[in-house]
Amino acid sequence: MKVAIYGQAYGPEVVAPVTTLLLELSKYKAEVCMEAEFAGLIGEAAKGYPVFSMKEGLDKSFDLMISIGGDGTILRAITYIRDLGIPVVGINTGRLGFLSIGKKEEVGEMLREFAEGRYHLVERSLVTATVPGQVPGGSLLNFALNEITVSRKDTTSMITVETYLNGEYLTSYWADGLILATPTGSTGYSLSCGGPVIMPTARSLVITPIAPHNLNARPLVISDDTQISLRVSGREAQHLLSFDSRLLSVDNGTEIRVQKADFCIRMVEFSSESFLKTIRNKLLWGEDRRN
């Protein structure tokens, strides 16, 4: 078994899960490789392990990537995986955890389930954006697992987002911004702005306005093979374009083309967990004092 490990912080809440993880992996005689900066944070405990970076060290021979942190850590981890097809699972040391579903107290059981094949892989679609003058796949990495968002910059004034679907005019949203979310991202920023929850395997995207001035502007679910074009206008010269949490400043009037990416991220889902169980627990569905 060949395993890559990624994390962004090494605080008290992470020490025990990492220690247990390395001990359990040694029992399976796993070949372990750590992300270079995370290995530096761990220090002595990471000594002797090979490292990988954004540019080198990962390839399709890896059986698994383990992300240690919250959902934001997984979103960062997938920028290392990109189109390699390496399955990823998260050990949740954060808070909510829709993506990082592994409990830090159950690291050993999680590895046993993986080694025994008691899991399945769920393909999660991504979205990508093309911006004239920006190099696709450059330092920003022009794809997102959760959402691509346009939003205002350096102003409290709303922006206007002119939106086209497959070349046909949809509407011009007058709002703080616009979210283009995948099914995975439907439980993130889009949900907090009133968007629907979408099953991870659905072939859909959702367009969710951020604080629209028109009260009849509602989230719209569309087919994931739709070509989306956006053009922003507003009082400032630029607006923000975000790929999950990675930000890019874009000149107003620039056409931004968004579509489903041509590769997927493979998420590990264990037999003891499921998306339905996760949303019941995280969104407290059914937790009504009257029942």
pLDDT digits (tens, 9 = 90+) for 187-240: 999 999 999 999 999 999 999 999 999 888 999 999 999 999 999 999 999 999
Name which of 182, 190, 179 is nearest 241 in CA terms: 179
Q: Which of 59, 63, 71, 225 is catalytic?
A: 71
Domain count, the chain: 2
How far apart are alpha carbons 228 and 135 in whole angstroms?
Answer: 19
Which range is least confidently modeled, 64-78, 83-97, 180-194?
A: 83-97
Query: Phi and psi of 282, rounded to 5°?
Result: -80, -35
Looking up residue 101, the CATH number of its domain turns out to be 3.40.50.10330
Based on the fold, state whether residues 112 and 236 are members of the same structural domain: no
- Determine the residue type at 74: I
Predicted TM-score (pTM) of this structure: 0.90
Q: Are strands 64-69 and 88-92 parallel, antiparallel or unpaired?
A: parallel
Based on the fold, state whether residues 107 and 180 are members of the same structural domain: no
97 Cβ contact partners less than 8 Å away, ≥ 6 residues apart:
70, 71, 90, 282
Q: Which domain holds residue 71?
A: 2-118+271-283
Based on the fold, state whether residues 145 and 91 are members of the same structural domain: no
Looking up residue 232, the CATH number of its domain turns out to be 2.60.200.30
Residue 49 has pLDDT above 70, yes or no: yes
Q: Is 59 a residue of the active site?
A: no
Q: How many helices (H) and strands (E) does the chain have?
A: 6, 18
- Determine the residue type at 81: I
- How many C-beta neighbours within 10 Å does residue 48 have? 7
pLDDT of residue 74: 94
Query: Phi and psi of 205, rounded to 5°?
Result: -130, 160
Name which of 44, 88, 38, 37 is nearest 62 in CA terms: 88
50: in domain = yes
